[in-house]
Amino acid sequence: MRWSGARRWLARCAALLRSGRAESELAREIEAHLTLLEDELRGRGMSDDDARRAARLALGGVDQVKERQRDARTFRWAEDLRRDLAYAWRGLARSPGFATSTIVTLTLAVGVTSAVTATADAVLLRPLAFAPEPDQLVRVMVHVPDPARPDTPPRRREATLTTTEVATLTARAKSLVGAGLVSATIRGLPGVEGAGRLSGAYLSIDSLTLLSPATLVGRPLTVGDDGAVVLSTGAWQRYFGADPAVVGRALTVETVLGARRVESVTVVGVMAPTFTFPSEQTDFWMLPPVTPSSPFRGRVLARLRRGVTPEAAAVDVGEALREIQQLGANVRVELVREHDELVGATRPVLLALVAAVGVLLAIACLNVAGLFQARALARQHEFATRAAVGASRGRLLRQSLTESALIGALGGAFGLALASVLLSTVRSFSAGIGRFDLVIPAPLPRLHEIALSPLIVVATAFGGVAVGLLAGALAAIRASRPPALAGMRQRASATPAWHGRRLLVAVQVAGAVFLVVGAILTGTTFRNLLGVDAGYQRGHRLTFQVSFPSSRFADDQIASFAETFASRLGALPSITSVGFANQLPLVQLRDTGGGLWTTPDVTRRSTEESADARFVSRDYLPTMGIPLLRGRGFDDRDGAGQPRVVLVNQALAERQFAGRDPLGLHVFIGRDVEPWTVVGVVGNVRQFGLHQAPEPQFFVDLRQWAPGGAPRFPVGPYFVAATEVAPEEVIPALRGVLTSMAPEARLFNLASMDTLVTASIARPRLLATILTSLSTVGVALAVVGLYGVLSYVTAARRREFGVRLALGATPRDVLGVVICQGALVVVSGLAAGVAGTLMLGGVIESALFGVTTRDPLVFAMAALGVGLAASVGIWLPARRATRVDAVEVLRCE
Amino acid sequence: MTSKGSEPIVLLQGTLDLIVLRSLSTMGPLHAYALAARLEQVSDAAFTLNQGSLYPALVRLEQRGWIKGTWGTTSNNREAKFYEITGSGRRALTTEAARWRRLAGLVDRLLADPS
C-alpha cells in the first residue's frame, strides 16, 4: 500500500512533465468510449444525433471528465501553475517594454551582486585552505621608525631570523605553539623543458610541522631531507605532465639569495593542490640549506596557541624578539594573521565594491518596484474588466504574482549567467603578470578560489524571485482594489501615493551619487597613477634577464659577460643603448650595500633607514632615462681600480647632506673605510611602485663594486635596452647575439617597461573599471526610475494641468510645476547621497592615490553629473505635461 | 437501502476504486464502457454514476500499478482500452476488501448500538 502510494506520487510527478501523450491517450479513450455507447444506443433504435447527445450525457461531459481525470493523474496546483506561467508569459510578451526593463534591471543587479559577493566571499571570508586552523597562523612584522624623518610613519617590514634565533623565539614566547622560517628565494629547475625559471620556497621543518600539508604523490619533506624537493600540483601538471613517476627524478635548482649556488636535487613528492604557501605562485619547496658559514635567514611563520589573539601574542613575541635581535625600544612588533596579510590592500577595495553593489541592488529593487507599480496602474482597467466578468480578487492577485515570480526567476537566472561571465573576466583580469620577482601584486589574491558557491547561487535564485514577488505583490494589491474606489480617490487627490514614490526616487538618486563618487575617486586614482612621474622612461624600454646554463658562470664571469653582452647589443641598429643593474624599478629586491655614511666606522651595520643601494652598469642611468641633475654620470673614468665615485639621488642629497652641496664630498659605504666621492646628483625614482614616494638612493658603478663574498647580482642581472622601434621587435636580434655568445644561455623575464608599469597599476585599474561600470548602471537605473515616476505622476495630474491651462496658465507654468516637483526630489536625493557617501567613503581611502574621500570637487562633480542625468528624467515628462490638451481634458470632465 | 425510489447513493471516496478492482478481478479485462455497464447492471441503478467518473479511478489504480491498460478491439470491432488487474492489484484487493469489511462492520455495529 505504502509502495503503491509512492509509485502513484512518482507517476503524478512524471505526468506533469509529459502531459502531451497522456492527454492524447485520454482523448482517444474517451472517443472510443463514446463510440461504444453510441453503438449501443443506436442498437436500441436511437437516431444518430440522439445517440450522440445521449452518449455525451451518460458520460457526463467530455471536458469535465477530462478535467477530473487530469486532477487524478497529476497535481492540480502544479498543473495550474503551469497554466498560470504560460499565461504570465503571454502577458509579458504583450508588454515587452515592461518585461525587458524589469528583467534587465534584475539581471544587472543580481549578476553584479553575486559576482562581487562571490569574489569577496572567496578572498575575504573563506579560511585559507593550505593549513588546518589557518587563523592561528601569523607573520611577525616590525615597525621601524626613521630617526632622520620622525614625521614619517615607521617602515613596516617582516622580521627575518636565523634558524637558531627562531628556535630561541619558540622557546621564549609562550603564546606560540611553534615558529618556523620561510624564504621564497629559490629559482630554477632550469633543466625542465619549457619551465623557464620556476619559483621555489625554503620551508624550515618547523614551518612544515605548523602547516602539516598533505601530499598528492610521494611524501612530504622530513628532517634531514637535504637535496630533496617537493613540487606543487600546478608545476607537476604543467611541466611534468602529472606523471607520478616524477618521484625520484633528479633536477637542478639555483639558490639566488645569499651565496649563489646550483645544486642537484631529487623530487620526493607532490603537494596537494590546496597547498599554496607562501604564495599561489610557489612551484616547489625545499628545506633550508645548512651552511655554518652564513646561517640561513627567513621570515617567520608562527602558530598562535588556541584562543590567543595576535595582539596579545605581540607583547610576548615582541619581548623575545627585542632580546634576540637587540631591537630598539621604539621598534614596534606586530603579529598579523597570514590571511590578513595575504588579503591586505584588497580588503578595503572589496568592501568598497560590496558597498557599491549593495547600493546598486537597492536602486534596482526600488526601480523594479516602481515599474511594477506603473504597470499595475496601467492595468487597472484590464483588471477591473476581468473583475466585472467574475474573476475573483484572489485569482487576479495570483496571476499578478505568477507574473512577478516569472520576472524574478528570469532576472535571477540571467543574473547568474551574467555573474559567471563577470567572474571569468575577473579571473582573467586578475591573472596579473605572474612574476614573482616584482613588487607587482596580482590584482586580486586567492584568484583560483573565486567561484560562485552553491550558497550564493541559491541565495541569488531566491533573491531574484523574492524581489519580483515583493514588488509584484505590493503593486498587485493596489491594482486589484475595486477600480471605482480608486477612481474616486484619484479625483480627491491629484497625486496618489506621490510621497512614497518621491522617497523611492530620492533614495535612488542618493545611491547613484555614492556610486559616482566611488567611480570618480578610483578613476582619479588611476589617472593620477598614470600621470605620476616615475623618474624613469617606460616607453621604448625592453627589460630582460639571462639564464645561464650552469655553475660555470661565477659572479665575476657574469659581470664581465653582462658587460660584453650589453655593449654588443648597444651596437645593434634598432637599439640606442643597453644598461644592466642588480635590480630594476618594480623588482622586489632591496639592498643597502651596508649603508651610505659620511664618516667611516668598521663596526656598524646598515639599518632600516639606510638608503637604497643600486649597483648599475655605466650606461644604466641614461638607458633608463633617469635624468642627471648636477655633476656628472658614470663614464670611462669609473672603471675598476680608478677613483671610486658614487651618485646620489635628490632625495638622498636632501636628507643626508642637509644644506651642504654633496658634490665632491667623501662618503663611506658599509664598513669600508676607503672613501667614495659623490660626483653627481640624479633624479628621484619611484623604485617600488608608482604610489610609493621616491626613496633616498645611491648608485655605484658595478665595475668598481667588490661586494666581498656576497653576489653582485642576487637575482641575476636585469638588462634594459632603449629601443628605437617597438621593444618587442628587437627580441629576435637580441636572442641572436646571446646565442652567438653563449649557446646554452636563454632570455627570460622579457617585458617592456611599459608592460611592467601597466601591470603594477592593474589593481587600481580593475577597481576603477568596476566602479565606473557600476556607477553607469546605477545612474541609468536612477534616471529611468525618476522618469517612470514623474511620467506616472504627470499622467495622474493630466486633469489638473488641463484645468490650469484652461484657466489661463501658460505651458511654461505647467513645465515649471513638474520641473520643480522633480528637482525637489533630485536635490534632496543629491544631498542625502553626499551625506551618506561622506560617512561611508572612508573604507576606500587606502586604495586611493592623490585624491581623498573628502575632496569637495569630487562631490561637486558627482552631484553635478547625477543632477544633469536626472534632468533628462525630469524634462521628458515635464514636456509631455505641457502638451495636455485643455479642451479634451475638460470634455472628459 | 437499495430499494428503488429512495435517494440515489453517493459513493464514498475510494469505494469506486475497490468496486472497479473487484469487477476486473471477477470479469477479466474490461474497457471503461463495459465496466460502467457492468456497474449499472449490478447496482440496479441504485447509485448515480456518470460513466466518466470511472476515469479518475482508472488512472489512480493504474498509477498505483494495480491495473494495467492495453489497447484492443471489442467484439464488434471497435477499438477500446482494456483494463486488467495485476498481481499486486489482486493482493491489494484482498487487503482493501478486508479493510472495507472491517469499516463497514464497525459502522454497522455503531448504528445498531441501542444507546
Question: Higher confidence at residue A442 or residue A182?
Answer: A182
Residue A168 pLDDT exceeds 60: yes
Task: Let me know the angle formed at the C-alpha of A179 by A178 and A184, rounded to the nearest 5 degrees.
Answer: 150
Give the pLDDT confidence score for residue A490 in this predicted structure.
Answer: 45
Residue A69 forms contact with B (CB below 8 Å): yes
Pick from A855, A820, A819: which is nearest to A834 by CA? A855
> Distance between CA A743 and CA A222 in Å, rounded?
39
Task: Give the highest mean pLDDT range of A363-372, A398-407, A731-740, A837-846.
Answer: A731-740
Averaged pLDDT, A691-719: 83
Residue B1's pLDDT is what? 41
Output the pLDDT for position A893: 55
Q: How confident is the model at residue A493 (pLDDT cuts 50, 70, 90)?
A: very low
Q: Extract the C-alpha cell encoding A819.
A: 520641473
What does the pLDDT look like over A342-356, one tens digit per residue? 887 778 778 878 888
Domain ranges of chain A: 2-74, 75-128+347-492, 155-330, 501-533+760-893, 549-744
Residues of chain B positioned with their CB less than 8 A from the CB of A28? 81
Mutating which of A2, A3, A7, A8 best tests the B interface, going by the most B Cβ atoms within 10 A? A8
pLDDT, tens digit (0-9, with 9 covering 90-100), for A255-307:
655 455 667 788 899 999 888 888 877 888 988 887 767 778 889 999 999 98
d(CA A41, CA A44): 5
Q: Which tens digits make up the pLDDT trace of A468-482?
A: 888 778 777 766 665
Does the pLDDT of residue B81 top 80, yes or no?
yes
A108-112, A338-342, A441-445, A837-841, range with the lowest pLDDT? A441-445
CA distance A63 to A80: 16
pLDDT at A565 over 90: yes
Q: How far apart are CA A725 and CA A722, in angstroms?
A: 9
Among A7, A33, A39, the residue with its CB nearest the CB of B65 is A7
**Hey, how many other C-beta atoms are within 10 angstroms of the C-beta on A815?**
15
How far out from the chain centre does Cα A489 lie? 52
Taking CA atoms, A163 is separated from A167, A182, A185, A806, A826, in Å, by 6, 10, 16, 94, 65
pLDDT computed for residue B3 by the predictor: 43
Query: Which domains does chain B possess?
Result: 15-112 (1.10.10.10)
Find, in chain B, the residue whose alpha carbon is nearest to that of A35: B78
Whole-structure pTM over 0.80, yes or no? no
Answer whether A892 touches B (CB < 8 Å): no
Q: Is A217 exposed, middle or buried (0-12, 13-18, 19+ CB in 10 A)?
A: buried
Percent of chain A exceeding pLDDT 70 equals 91
Whether A73 and B59 lie within 8 Å, measured CB to CB = yes
Which three cell numbers, joined as nine digits, stand for A704? 668598481
Is A491 a residue whose pLDDT tops 50? no
**Cα distances (angstroms) measured from residue A115 to each of A108, A351, A426, A457, A460:** 11, 13, 9, 10, 10
Which pLDDT value is given to residue A190? Answer: 54
Q: What are phi and psi of A193, to 5 degrees?
A: -60, 125
What pLDDT is attached to residue A298? 87
In this predicted structure, what is the pLDDT of residue A498?
60
HSE at residue A28, side-chain half, CA atoms within 13 A, is 14
Question: What's the rounded mean pLDDT across residues A96-123?
Answer: 86
Q: Residue A607's pLDDT is what? A: 64
Report the range of poorest mean pLDDT among A191-205, A390-404, A684-698, A745-759. Answer: A191-205
- Average pLDDT taken over every residue of chain A: 83
Q: Which is more confidently placed, A889 or A648?
A: A648
What would the pLDDT profile of A53-65 be if each residue is shown by its tens digit? 888 888 888 888 8
Q: What is the ipTM of this complex?
A: 0.88
Task: Indicate the range of A121-125, A262-266, A453-457, A724-728 predicted with least confidence.
Answer: A262-266
Q: Which residues of B touch A (CB under 8 A)?
A: 31-34, 37, 50-53, 55-60, 63-66, 74, 76, 78-81, 88, 92, 95
Q: What integer pLDDT is reported at residue A814 of this predicted model?
A: 84
Question: Mean pLDDT, to the nearest integer, of A199-209?
Answer: 88
Give the per-residue pLDDT at B71: 92
Handedness of CA A10, A16, A22, A23 (dihedral sign): positive
Burial A693-716, CB ≥16 within 10 A → b, else e: ebbbbbbbbbbbbebeebbbbbbb
Structure confidence at residue A660 (pLDDT): 84
Residue B88: the pLDDT is 92
Evaluate whether B44 touches B2 at the Cβ level (below 8 Å). Answer: yes
Task: Decide if A722 contacts A576 (C-beta within 8 A).
Answer: yes
Q: How far apart are CA A806 and CA A815, in angstroms?
A: 15
Task: Determine the Cα–Cα distance for residues A77 and A71; give it in Å rounded to an integer.
Answer: 9
Average pLDDT of B37-61? Answer: 80
What pLDDT does A432 receive? 64
User: Across the interface, do A29 and B95 touch by the CB < 8 Å criterion?
Assistant: no
